[in-house]
Amino acid sequence: MPRNRVSAVLGSSVPRPRPQPFPSRSRSTLRRRAVVGVLVLLSLVLITISFRAGSGGAVHRVEGAGATVLRPFEVAAERVARPFRDGYGYFASLVHVKRENSRLKQQVNDLRQKELLGQSALEQNRVLRSQLKFIDSPRFPVDYTPVNTRIISWASEFVQQVVIAAGSDSGIKQDTPIVTNYGLVGRVTDVTGSAAQVTLLTDENSAVPALDQTTSANGLVRHGQGQGSLVLDFVRKEANVKEGDVIVTAGTQSKQYPSLFPGGIPIGVVTHVGQSDTALYKQIQIDPYVDFSALDAVTALITNKRTPKGP
Amino acid sequence: MPADIAKAAGLLFFVVVVQLSVMANVDILGGHPNLVLVTLVSVSLLRGAVFGAVAGFCVGLLADTGVFGTLGFTALLLTLAGYWTGRYGETTGRDRAHAPLLSIAVITVLYQISALVLRYMLGEPAPARHIFAALAPTVLLNLILTVPIYALTRRLLRPREWVTREVRLLG
């Protein structure tokens, strides 16, 4: 540009043109807002459909397809991570190993005595049942076929749910009880051909009819205040529940509300019993046998025996 | 651009699988590190709002299907997280060294609170006390993860200014 032309422009009182937005920039802003708007709308529509559909319909099939695609990758990732997790668990457990060893030795002695008593009671029970020709509902564990499977993914910290690597193809159905060697874990709340969602006992929506093995006091096991803790609720004040009592599933006790779980599955041990003048029931805290933060392999209990239903 | 999409898709798919099968069960001092969120924020910072929003939506949908969750729940939260971080990266956060750390800290807090509110609105379990107690350790763990994850993502998806500068120097 020639020098004199610049000075002429600077010296004059030419009005400045109104700044116009770059067309490409305004277009890009519009595009950006449109994209995010569409995505948010789509998400809200999906939430609505998913929420209304429950555990059926097209959305469930899409979820099932997604879970099937992810499954092999999740299994592979879990297998790769397992040695590291086991290694961490090994070193972490060394901290308490001595104290735990002496506690376990004491426990072994107690259990040895109880086992002897239990064996004779079991035999006596078997004989009496056969003499009475007793008609029973499915019993744990004799009337159940175990399907052993692995946990392949975990939900967020909000919900106590896991996904297992076995589904309806292996005979798992909605409400199938899930256990480990230690005790009750939860129940199946959603199932596809190759995977199933398990809602843990520690979830807010879980509730299991249970009883004190020593006193037969009935109650409902629900999630407690802390993460992974449980409480036995609705136990009458007259019931003589003590610390150290074992809590097991009660099975079906009311024909109006049949239990989803067979009776006799261990849940945990009573750690605290309290009661106040104002509360209607005892406040009982339970230490679950299952470590819900370190679940790895679980067993689905499948039965072909019909669960009796009230007329 | 297609190469960027392929790289980001591969990275985010891998991260979702790791998060669902390994990281979701990790509990350190009560906190739960969120690898998906950290990676998404890193990608969004480097590639902008639209890329971040679309990536967030796809990743959220994948995560929802993987855990039989409410379809669209995580997608909604991650779309907004990706969009907001992308905008921050395009405007104020550009060329600032603290941008990833600041974004992660803010987004983690907003994500946890938004998820809590959304769950409450949907009538699902929303343990507010537990979430607020775990907020500080979760932010800390996510910040620790940010350093290597952002470095890896930056290596994979080089900032666009670098590419332009290299073209200019060569030209």
Which chain A residues touch B122 with a CB distance below 8 Å? 47, 51
Structure confidence at residue A6 as a pLDDT band (50, 70, 90): very low
CA distance B85 to chain A (A): 13
The whole-number average pLDDT for the span A115-137 is 84
Query: What is this model's ipTM?
Result: 0.85
Express each pLDDT in B137-154 by its tens digit: 999 999 999 999 999 998
Using CA atoms, how far residue A76 sits from A148, A191, A198, A279, B58, in Å, is 18, 21, 20, 50, 22
pTM here? 0.69
Taking only the tens place, the pLDDT of each residue in A212-242 is 988 888 899 998 776 678 999 888 888 888 8
Region A134-153: mean pLDDT is 78
Q: Which helix (H) or strand (E) holds B136?
A: helix B128-156
**Residue A45 pLDDT exceeds 80:** yes
User: From CA A237, how far away is CA A108, in angstroms rounded?
Assistant: 33
Distance from CA of A272 to the nearest CA of B (A): 22
| Between A41 and A28, the higher pLDDT residue | A41
* A158–B125 C-beta distance less than 8 A: yes
Mean pLDDT of B76-87: 93
Alpha carbon of B47: minimum distance to chain A alpha carbons (Å): 13
Q: Looking at domain A144-303, which of 3.20.20.70, 2.40.10.340, 3.40.50.150, 3.50.50.60 is its CATH number?
A: 2.40.10.340
Q: Which amino acid is at B28?
A: I
Q: Calculate how close chain A gets to B171, using CA atoms only, in Å.
A: 25
Out of A40, A70, A158, closest to residue B126 by CB: A158
B51 touches chain A (CB under 8 A): no
Return all residues near A199 (Cβ < 8 A) that are at least 6 apart.
A159, A160, A161, A186, A187, A188, A189, A205, A206
Q: Where are the domains of chain A?
A: 29-136, 144-303
| CB < 8 Å to A78, chain B | 21-22
Neighbours of A216 (CB within 10 A): 9
CB contact under 8 A, A293 and B27: yes
Nearest to B67 among A32, A59, A161 (CB): A161
Highest mean pLDDT among A74-78, A151-155, A213-217, B22-26: A213-217
Residue in chain A lying closest to B66 (CA): A67
The count of CB pairs under 8 A between chains A and B is 144
| Confidence tier at A53 by pLDDT (50, 70, 90) | confident
Proportion of chain A above pLDDT 90, given as a percent: 17
Render pLDDT for A83-104 as a digit per residue (tens, 0 to 9): 887 887 788 778 788 888 989 9
Q: What is the pLDDT of residues A147-186, one digit of tens each?
A: 999 888 887 766 788 999 898 888 898 889 999 988 999 9
Mean pLDDT for chain A overall: 81
Question: Could you tell me the pLDDT band of residue A10, with boundaries at 50, 70 and 90?
Answer: low
